[in-house]
Amino acid sequence: MIKAYKYCLLPTEEQKQILAGWFGSCRFVYNLALQAKIAAWESLRKTVSSYDLKKQLTDLKHSECLWLKDCPAQSLESTIANLEDAYSNFFKRGTGFPKFKKRSAKQSVEFRQDSKVFGSQIRLTKIGLIDFVQHRPIGEGEIRTVTVSKTPAGNYFVSILVKDEKELPTKMPIVEETTVGIDVGLKTFSVLSDGQKFDNPKYLHQQLSRLKKEQRTLARRYKKGVEISEQSKGYHKQKLAVAKLHEHISNQRKDFLHKTSTAIVKQYDTICLEDLNIKGMMQNGNLAKAISDVSWHEFNRMLEYKADWYAKNIIRIGRFEPSSKTCSDCEAINTLLTLSDREWVCSNCGTLHDRDENAAKNIKSLGLRAKPSTANVSR
């Protein structure tokens, strides 16, 4: 089983300068490799393999870009491998096309060899021991990769990927008593089929007025026609303030999602979810900001990998199932139901339904009825 452990990194000023150079080297190699792939496809309709890119990298380090030798060779090769994965996923899974990396965005460098942990210090190639805040113990096993990253707010983190000898536990049996259906929404973050509700904290909405004020200040301090690196100290100071506020909102959201997903996974053996077209829903300009704030995709991702850890099941139902319009008691369909109707009475049996709770019950029912050959049960 493979798990990642993320900690706050505390490099010295000298180590920060070394890491800054390595971040730049990896960013340069990534962008150059992506440009080579795009140019080869546009001109020759051919794909440049990662083997060819690594060979070109070796030639580059001994000719035009001697400064690339300062960065660990494994880190540069990992950058090309990561680009290859992103490029392949675009064609195989329909994910977004790889984008060029910016200096102002999150920076990272990956180490695949000779990384060891000594208490609250980690030893990395060519840089030595770096302190980190070990707020939880690292699992026993082989360290596969170590990724050092820097956020736009200037914080450093280290992510340690550990592989142990343990196998994923056998899944719990799927029975109705320990199964729950989940209906996610915007007004209420999620409603469970047993009536339990998790309110939407709306962290972005809470900080929106402050964020707008900080961004207006940043816009005023920007000098047109001047490169970012040559902007005033006040501009860079304000840019850091905006980045810190964005990171604060992101941390609040992640904390909420972790606590909610862990509570649900520990309480139920089988979790039924709706296969939402989140990407398509984001095209609605009126709802895009609210959908982005609730992070349904990240919530689903957390449920999936935590279900593997705790031997729980994930079942998904089709996105076109009328879960909200179907009466959970008699299964009659209310074709007149609109999005503004939060409660409705079934014209067939007279039952009063809460829209979200009724949808969660139907999601559970449809999930249990799904055939094993078609149910998307997590591994």
If 0-12 CB within 10 Å is exposed, 13-18 middle and 19+ buried, where does residue 270 land? buried
Task: For residues 204 and 211, give the distance between their C-alpha atoms in angstroms, rounded to a whole number.
Answer: 9
Span 33-55, pLDDT tens digits: 999 999 998 888 888 888 999 99
Q: Got the DSSP string for 71-93? A: S-HHHHHHHHHHHHHHHHHHHHT
Q: How confident is the model at residue 374 (pLDDT cuts 50, 70, 90)?
A: very low
Strand 270-274 with 179-184, pairing: parallel
Query: What value does the CA radius of gyration of the chain take, rounded to a whole number of Å?
Result: 25
Decide if 111 contacts 147 (C-beta within 8 A): yes
Task: Provide CB contacts within 8 A for 34, sequence distance 6+.
Answer: 83, 87, 98, 100
Among the options 214, 274, 293, 304, which is catalytic? 274
- At 316, give phi and psi (nearest 5°): -115, 140
Nearest CA among 336, 282, 27 for reference residue 35:
27
274 as an active site residue: the answer is yes
Strand 270-274 with 313-317, pairing: parallel
Among the options 110, 183, 293, 357, which is catalytic? 183
Among the options 77, 110, 356, 357, which is catalytic? 356
pTM of the full predicted structure? Answer: 0.88
Domains of the chain: 2-163 (no CATH), 176-206+237-369 (3.30.420)
Span 261-304, pLDDT tens digits: 999 999 999 999 998 888 888 888 888 999 999 999 999 999 99
